[in-house]
Each structure stands twice: as C-alpha cells, then as structure tokens.
Structure 1
C-alpha cells in the first residue's frame, strides 16, 4: 500500500495512505509518522473485517493457499 510522506512547516511529519479514508497520521519524525499510519491502517482494516465490511485492500496483504 502506498504511503505519502511530507514534512510540515512546523517540523512535524505527516504520512497518509490515500487509498484508506482516515489513513493519516502525524509524527515527530518521518519514521514515526510512517509507523503510526501503518498501525492506523491495520486498525481500520481490522475494524472493517470485524464489522463484516469489505476490505479489498487486504487482497494486497494476504494470499490464501489452495
């Protein structure tokens, strides 16, 4: 999944997973912002699964052996 990262004018970093609504996180460093958005995206996808909602993004994460 693609993550876009940008440094804000105040020195904070923002990371966004554009494919996931709400997949946006700030961090004090680039690495921290990326880690936070990855964690958030996984939580969003897990919540979708638990609620029976579609999560087609998981097709890029998991494969099921026949």
Structure 2
C-alpha cells in the first residue's frame, strides 16, 4: 500500500478512536475512567492533527467532524 493510502487509513482510525473515547467518556461513571478516556481521545486527536499537517492532501479527502 502506498504511503498516502496508509496515512489516510491511519487518519481515519485516529479520528474513529477519538470519537469512541469521547463518547465513552460521556457515559463513564468513575472519574478515573472518564479522565483516562479523555486523555486517550486527546492523544488520538493530536496524532490525527499531525497527520493532517504532514499529509494535507490525504486529510482533505477525509475528515471526521469533531464532537
């Protein structure tokens, strides 16, 4: 697979994981669980943002809206 295809796939996966973690954090009843999920969501967001900066062409073709 090309680098572009791989980056596009990774971008999609990071955005998907960010969305899942944020959603699960909203339902978490323990503070520790909520904080952990929000930290993972933030890490995923940062990773996706970094991909968008390094590969803007791939990012333009796929982007989740942020919650």
- TM-score, with length taken from structure 2: 0.42
Instruction: Flag the structure with higher helix content.
Output: 2
Instruction: Flag the structure with higher strand content.
Output: 1
